[in-house]
Every structure is written in C-alpha cells, then in structure tokens.
Amino acid sequence: MTRHDLERASPQVSGGVDPRESSLEEAAAEAAELRPEIERHNRLYHVESRPEISDSVYDALFRRLQALEAAHPSLATPDSPTQRVGADPLESLPSVAHAAPMLSLDSAREPAEVQRFDERLRKALGDEEIRYILEPKLDGASLELVYVEGVLERAVTRGNGREGEGVTENVRTIPTVPLRLREDERPVPAFLSVRGEAMMYLSDFETLNQRRIEAGDPPYQNPRNATSGALRQLNSRITASRPLTVLAYDVMVVEGVTFETDSEGVAALRAWGLQTPERVTEADSVDEIVAYHRAFDADRDSLDYEIDGVVVKLDALAPRALLGSTSHHPRWAIAFKFEPRKEVTRIDRIFVSVGRTGVLTPVALLRPVEVGGVTVSRATLHNREELERKDVREGELVRVQRAGDVIPQIVERIDEEERERSDPFAMPAACPSCGTEPVEKGPFTVCPNHFGCRAQLKGRITHFGARGALDIEGLGEETVSLLVDEGLVTELADLFDLKEEELVPLEGFAEVSARNLVGAIEERRRVELARFLVGLGIPEVGVAVARDLAVHFRGIEAVRAASAEALEEIHGVGEKMSAAIKGFLETPDVREALDRLLDGGRRFQFVVPEATEVVVEGGWGGRTVVLTGTLESFSRGELKKVLEGLGARVTGSVSRRTDFLVAGEKPGSKLDKARRLGVEVLDEEQLRERLEGDGRVAAGLPPSEAQ
C-alpha cells in the first residue's frame, strides 16, 4: 500500500469523514485496514530499522485509529496498536504460573568446562549426532509471552521459575512485542509460550538517563535495573515511556505445531513477527563454540546491548527430552560466561558501614572508574579477615571488577615500588554509629547493641516494614532514616505512637502523606504472627521457619519463652538454629525492646494459621533429612531441591527430629551424632534406590555410574 493509498483509505489524513458520523460497519472496515498497516510500520521502524513513511504520517494514521475506536468502543480489540499507549494504573501485579518452568542455566568460564559438558552429552546420547545452537546471553530481564490463537494473552516475569508477576499491560506497550502474531509466512499455533529477554539498548538507556538528568531526576544505575523497574510498574503509561525491547529466543510450549530442532523454532518466531537475538548460529564442535565465544567477547565493548556470555544449547529437541533437567537447570544447555570486566583505580579512603544485623563491614571509597559501562565509586571489603588477606590500604592502586558483572569488588592490590604504603587499616574499637565496643564472631566484627545502635535501628525498622514482614506502605529506607534522624523514632515501639502532626513539618511530608503513613502503620496492629517474627530479624528465621514457629507455638510470648529443646521439636530447627534464636531473644536489649513494642499484649492482634499436614506420595512428605559428606553422583544443591520437591525438609544439623541422614565420603561429626540418636543413615546408593522407587522423580536424577 502506497502513501497515496493510505491517505485515501484514511479520510482523517486527507480531511475526510468524522469517525463519529461513520456507521459501525464503515468504521470497522477502515479500522480493519488500518491495524495491520500500522503494525507493519511499527515493525519496519522498531525491528527492521527501515521506515517507509514519516513520523507525521504515522502519527496521523495512529490518531485516526484512536478516533475510530473512541467513536465506536466495540472496535477496540486487545491486539489493536492503540493498546500500546498504556492503561489505567493497577493496584498490584498478580502472581501468574508459567506454562512451563523457566529454569536457569549451569555456567562455565573455561573452554575445558565446555569440553566436559560436550563429553557428558556425547556419552549420554551415544551414537546420536551432536549439533548445538549458539546465541548471545542477553543481560536483561527474562519474560514469558503467551499467545492464544495468535493474540498476546499474557506476559509474566520469570519470578521463581515456576510463577512470576503478570505484566501484560506493561508489555503491550513495547513496540517489538507483536500483539497479534503474523501468519503470512506460516500458520499461527493455537497456543504458544515464548521465553524472551526484556532489555534496553545502551544508546536508548543513555538517552533516557540524559532526559532524567535534565528533568532533575537521578539517573538509573544500569540498563538491567531500569528494565526490571519499567516492567514492574503499576502504571503501564510509565512503561510506555521507557525504551524497552524484547528479544525472543525459546519456544517453551507450542500446540498445533511441531519442531525437530531449536533452530526451526527460532525461525518460526521470526516468521511470526517476534524479534530474535542477532548472530544466532549452529556449531558441531567445542572448537566452534570457543571461536563463537571469543568473537563475541572481542566485540563486547562495541555492542549496543549488554551480554555476559554466550548460550550453548543442544539443537535437536528429542535428545533434550531424553537428557532432561535438574530442578534448577537443563542438562542439555550451558552458559559460557565471559571473564568479569576489570579496571584499575585508587582507594581514597576506607570506612566502616554498620548493617541491620550489626555487622561492621569495611568499605573502600574509590576514585570513580567505569567498569563495564557502570561507574564504580565504592567496593566492599567484606570482613576483617578478607581485609587482612587482601592487605589493601588507603591511597593504593587496586584492580576492580564487577562480580557477576553487577557487584563491585576489589580483586587485588597493584604494587607501586616507589610509593610508600600507608598503615594497615584496623577495624574500630567502637561502633562508629553508637560507640558500643564490638565483638568478633568468626571473621566478622559485630556491634551487639541490636536496637540501641542508630544504624542498626534504621535497618531493623526498614526490615520490619518491608514487604515480606509487616508490609507497611510508605515506610521505605529514606522515610525511616528521616524519622530516626529527627528523633521521632528511637526504637520500634515509637513507630506505633507516631502522630500526623509530628510528620507534617518533615521534608517530603504533607497532610495526606502523613495521614497515609500513620494509617498504614495502624493497620498493622492486626498482623500475621509469622510476618511479625520475620520482621524482628531473628537470626536463622526466614519465612518458612517463621510460619512453623507461629503454627507450633500459636503466640509471640510462647515463642519467647520456648526452651532450646522445645524449638528443636519443630521440623528443620536443629541445635545451631535453636541456639541462635534463643540467644537473640534472650539478649537484654532485645528483650527490653520487645517488651516495649508488645506493650503487655495491648498493641497487637496476632493472626495464626491453622496447622496443615503435608501428605506427599513416596514416603518423603514431612520427613526431615540432613546431608553430610561428599556425594559422587549428586550435587548437594540439586539433591536438596529434589528432596524438597518431594515434600521433605532438608536441614543443616542433626537432632532427634531428623528422619534420615544421607552420608557421603568424610561425613564428619554429623554421622556420629545421628548414630547416637538412632537416626537412620543412608549411603548414596541406598538413597538412589529409594528415590528411583518413586517413579515421579526418577527422570530428574543425575545418571549413576552404573548407567
């Protein structure tokens, strides 16, 4: 269709009939012609970078379609290009299950590791021909796109791999995501689940940051974080203003179409109108894989997007099913990572940061240096022993890298023969926040003033009000810091005595925001006991343990009064964990702070869930298992996930509540204790027999040597 044809087909462009005066049939016919044409120009502009019409002509066509749909609301279909402008804000993002698990990848950094991966596959598949598909490992945010009868139905973040957050309205605004699949080259399937990567091109990211700086807003730290934040906006109009793109690279589930290879699937994605990564290719050998990796690594700094390696996947799909997956990653794919980027800079100063749990962490202030596109000005030195081991001092040259291309860390000191070294840095004799004498716990230096230390108090209040704890809306890190610095909150109990009139004079507050915060805090006087326990920041107590404590003891005072033996009656709580819980709750300043917070039981109404019995076939449901020693054919992490998937609890210490101890080579003291307590001990082969007796998980086990 030529520009003349477009103008003739769209009267609004050439001064034609007002859409409000058109009949529904006339408007429907015009809209049906406009939609695919506008989408074609979207693709030409955003995906293929070869526009055919000017922006002004495109805008006129788009406005014409908007006017038609406004005049005749029944014409506004979910796959209309007008849906890309965003919708009304949501109250929250829903949790949505994936059509298939979105697993992570095992990784390698050396060619020898890729060689071993190749050898494992060849050994497992025997005479099967091995061919790989190679692609860049994009450094963005993983996303699932689901199409039903060719129309985008939902978009879901990766989340925990099984379910994520529904971000459909946000993803509809991304120009490279087709709202309806193309079917001019091949028929669309009845159902299609696609995995892709949401990302920002570096040039677009720089433009976005420049706009923010000019508007007086802080710039984003890196494209990945900016992308993730844009995807999770409750207001999709904000997402629409961000320069996002999505590259699709994997068919997870498809109905009505079959593929023999991953390559065929990628070709189909392109035919259906999805944008795929560049330089996707195939390889038959490790040498070709290494060459591909080396070529991308050499071009890394000139690319307009972030990558942290390349992905190597078995191309044939039938052998993939034979190899299967662990609970964490597929056995038929691997990420061949690049070495972390490193740069040289100088340490200006070393200072100590006090965290929420009282740990004093030495931090190096660096002369700003750009590492992998991110400006780094500080790096953690972790703890006292790590500082002594690296022996870095103020004023010295150091080599810095971004661990996993994200977290800055100092790799090593660079010798300067003619420069005299400064004195070694020593951890302070007093907490820099409250002046309390710190104590040493292993390699860590800790301030024991849990609720009296201002730095710890800020961290503890922030944690107390966080989403996983009491979930107090508006009680973020900046607000907490302001409340503590102004003296309005000197302990947790003060939160529940705040008055609106105290907040209004503070910077950033007004009557409405003050009323909202006080109201949000007031609402949490009725709270789930498990959330309250999480919020207290008790060592070793996460969400699962907190719930078990709540269900078992039914009240906060019962938890506080529980003996170590009573705590160990709970599945998953061993000697070390019970000692940590008991030690924290019995510390004088913690006990006094809790007394004031609870106010004799008058301040809170606790909600406790009813206990439920987990019943899982195969004899593992509710059983407590401890792993010890070195296992030959199992990864400890992999085995833990298999057992947990069967309903078992895998803990770190043996107690009278332990059902099984799995003992590998050099099991240590846990084996002696298990025998003293009469706990059943399984060696690796006995465990394998029991697991393989449960046919539901046999396919998820790593192959034994006998196989």
Respond yes or no: is residue 441 known to be catalytic.
no
- Nearest CA among 294, 246, 298 for reference residue 274: 246
Question: Out of 137, 458, 640, 670, which one is annotated catalytic?
Answer: 137
Q: Angle CA(676)–CA(682)–CA(687) in degrees, nearest 5?
A: 160
Tokens describing residue 127: 């005479």
Tokens describing residue 547: 């719930």
Q: Roughly what angle, to the nearest 10 degrees, separates helices 286-299 and 111-125?
A: 140
Which amino acid type is present at position 124? A
Q: How far apart are the C-alpha atoms of 190 and 259, rounded to whole Å?
A: 15
Q: How far apart are the C-alpha atoms of 366 and 689, rounded to whole Å?
A: 55
Half-sphere exposure of 475 (CA within 13 A, CB side): 29
Whether 249 contacts 145, CB under 8 Å: no
Tokens describing residue 271: 């035919």
Chain-centroid distance of CA 504 in Å reads 36
For residue 37, what are the CA distances in angstroms to 31, 75, 246, 686?
10, 16, 21, 65
* Non-local CB neighbours of 299 within 8 Å, separated by 6+ positions: none
* Non-local CB neighbours of 352 within 8 Å, separated by 6+ positions: 360, 361, 362, 363, 427, 428, 432
- Dihedral (Cα; 171, 172, 174, 176), 10-degree rounding: 110
Whether 121 contacts 323, CB under 8 Å: yes
Whether 672 contacts 652, CB under 8 Å: no
For residue 248, what are the CA distances in angstroms to 104, 141, 255, 492?
16, 12, 18, 47
Half-sphere exposure of 238 (CA within 13 A, CB side): 13
Question: How would DSSP label each residue in 171-226?
Answer: HTT-TTS-SB---SSSPPPSEEEEEEEEE--HHHHHHHHHHHHHTTPPPPS-HHHH
Tokens describing residue 365: 């202030």
Which amino acid type is present at position 98? H
Measure CA of the first residue to CA of the last residue in the chain; give whole Å. 62
Phi, psi for 600 (deg, rounded to 5): 65, 25
Residues identified as active-site = 137
